[in-house]
Chain A
Amino acid sequence: MSTAGSWSSIYGFVRRYPVLPAIILIGLAVMAIFAPILAPLDPLDSDLSKVKAPPAWIDGGTFQYFLGADGIGRDLLSRIIFGSRISMMVAGVVILTGGTVGVVLGLVAGYYGGVRDEVIMRLVDVFYAIPFILVALVVAVVFGSSLGLVIILLSLFSWPIFARQTRALTLQLKTKDYVAAAKIAGASPSRIALRHIVPGLMNVVIVIATLQVGNLILTESVLSFLGIGIPAPQPAWGSMIAEGRVFITSAWWIPLMPGAAVFLTVFAFNFLGDWLRDYYDPNLRQL
């Protein structure tokens, strides 16, 4: 086969499948799982002689602190690696809790309709109407911000999206023939819901979840900017960027290294989510 032919088939493969995001996300997963092995230094260890040390390729940098060090002398690379754990953990928990609650409520609303539907949808509307940032600020100032609080706030922020889309899809799936058939055969509502509708929802849920991850990571960084994010000394990417932003001219690597990490991760998740949506079902394009 000629080289031109193999290049074009590689090109075709890359165009059709989300290769770039996959690489990024696999890298992210490896970082998160193997963090203690991969990180060269302890992310919480502060060496005051290395304060604001530049990355290795800049004058004054060392190989040991490969991406440089932050304002109190902690290794940026190690903090970014461990930070991937925090980002993934927070995103995972939030999507699991918010997603489960949202899907269940959306399912109930869509399947049963009536009063349950009204109540749940009004609840969704109230949550959409509340300015999230303001309420997050108030709650954090009252209770003091912590990892747990951030997770709770982000979950409350994300369940309505799952609920709304699940309900819409449930309404569609409810009318399908095989559901009617199951009803005629005498299956109980919960059995119908679980066995026939939920499988149809999974694609939607996966797409929403993938697209939400990026949103969650960015929202966490905004919470840190406002002073109510994941508290120090945890190496959360959002707080690293927020704490480091004052160094933008004097030690740009401090905010921009975690910034790049956030950027690549969110980009990858959004790209993947778009692709999954196109791949699964054209009906999902309303997402």
Chain B
Amino acid sequence: MLRYLASRLVYLVLVMIGVSMLVFGLSRLSGDPRYLYMTQGSHYSQEVWDARGRDLGLDKPFVIQYLTWAGRAATGDFGDSVWHKRNSLDLIIERAPATLQLSGVAYLFAILIGTGLGIASAVMRGSIIDLLIRGFALTGQAAPPFLVAIILIFVFAVNMHLFPTSRRGDWSSFVLPVATLAWLGSASLTRITRSSMLEVLDSEYIKLARAKGVGRTSIIFKHALKNALVAPLTLSAILFASFITGTVVVETVFAWPGIGRLALEATLHNDFPLVTGLTVFFSAIYLVSSLVSDLIYAYIDPRVRLY
């Protein structure tokens, strides 16, 4: 088990290196970074311009520039945000909790609703309930998230006065953003869980168990569920990552003070230190969550540990 964990961690580091190279390359593509730090007034002397170039290491070869950046990035130093004029990591850490809370709660609901409905739908296959659940799943994945968000705001906040329209506040301000995020996620989880459960219920050893006379409920929950949950588990890691990026839309519409919105505004301001910091941060979240789900998978299914 430990060996498995170790090998997964090594692999995680390799992937992070790959991601960081990509991100660094992109940031240099945008042109001379000095334009970000200095306005283009005519009062710069050539000496000041060159000195700034030396500060930023622009006179060195690209590989050296990357290694310098990567070295600093590994310690969490992404440089100062060009727009905010503060340390990028500090900014990210300040605003991450708002996003993690939102995504966390939405993720929780999506998992519960998604797997619950998926199991119910599979077990009651062919019934009206199955049809309704499948309908819910299909519609949930069919609308653009920002449109859903805006419609929810106008129906439930403006017309019915049930919740605030926007901004993070007490629990009631979580309802609409969570609903937007969770609806999309739970829809795909429902479908995956349903198909996975159906497949397991059709499998040989379940048929054998039935032939042996094992009770229905015992079949479903003792034998089938463990295997059926493998696929949704794998999906849930990817889902968490997609929630993180889904928050870009939701945070913008609901004026939520998180890193999704920070990322959008950072790119629009060409704020490359912050953008690279955020990209590495998001990737790290994805990789950690995928590691966690792999570990749970390995725990459940010993065969996997041989890899």
Contact = CB atoms under 8 A, between A and B. Distances in A.
B15 A122 contact: yes
Interface stretch (A86-94, A104-112, A137-145): A137-145
A249 B143 CA distance: 18
B11 A134 contact: no
Nearest to A132: B245
Nearest to B281: A131
Interface string B143-174: 11111001100100000000000000000000
Question: Contact size class for A?
Answer: 35 or more
B195 A226 contact: no
B283 interface: yes
Contact of A131 (B143, B147, B245, B249): B245
Interface string A37-57: 000000000000000000000
A283 B196 CA distance: 10
A139 B191 CA distance: 33
Given A131-B282, A142-B29, A248 B151 contact: yes
A245 B264 contact: no
Contact of A130 (B19, B270, B290): B19
Given A133-B248, A134-B275, A134-B278, A126 B143 contact: no
Size bracket of the B interface? 35 or more
B179 interface: no
A142 to B, nearest CB: 5
Interface string B244-256: 1100110000000
Given A141-B270, A248-B151, A285-B199, A222 B22 contact: no
Interface stretch (A1-9, A198-206, A255-263): A255-263
B218 interface: no
B22 A226 contact: no
B138 interface: yes
Nearest to A256: B147
A262 B199 CA distance: 31
A257 to B, nearest CB: 12
A218 B199 CA distance: 29
Most chain A C-beta atoms within 10 Å of own C-beta, residue among B15, B29, B198: B15
A130 B278 CA distance: 11
A266 interface: yes
A66 interface: no
Interface string B269-281: 0100001001100
A271 B282 contact: no
Contacts of A214: 141-142
A129 B147 contact: no
B18 interface: yes
A242 B244 CA distance: 21
Contacts of B268: 137, 141, 227
B279 A135 contact: yes
B263 interface: yes
Contact of B283 (A130, A266, A287): A130
Given A132-B245, A277-B195, A285-B198, A266 B141 contact: yes
B286 A131 contact: yes
B241 interface: yes
A138 B151 contact: no
Contact of A259 (B144, B275, B278, B286): B144
Interface of A: 122, 125-126, 128-135, 137-139, 141-142, 214, 218, 221-222, 225-227, 238, 241-242, 245, 248-249, 255, 259, 262-264, 266-267, 270-271, 274, 277-278, 282-283, 285-287
The 6 A-B pairs with the shortest beta carbon distances in the complex, nearest first, are A285-B195, A131-B282, A137-B267, A266-B142, A285-B199, A221-B144
Given A222-B145, A226-B249, A245-B150, 4 more contacts: A126-B18, A135-B22, A141-B268, A142-B31
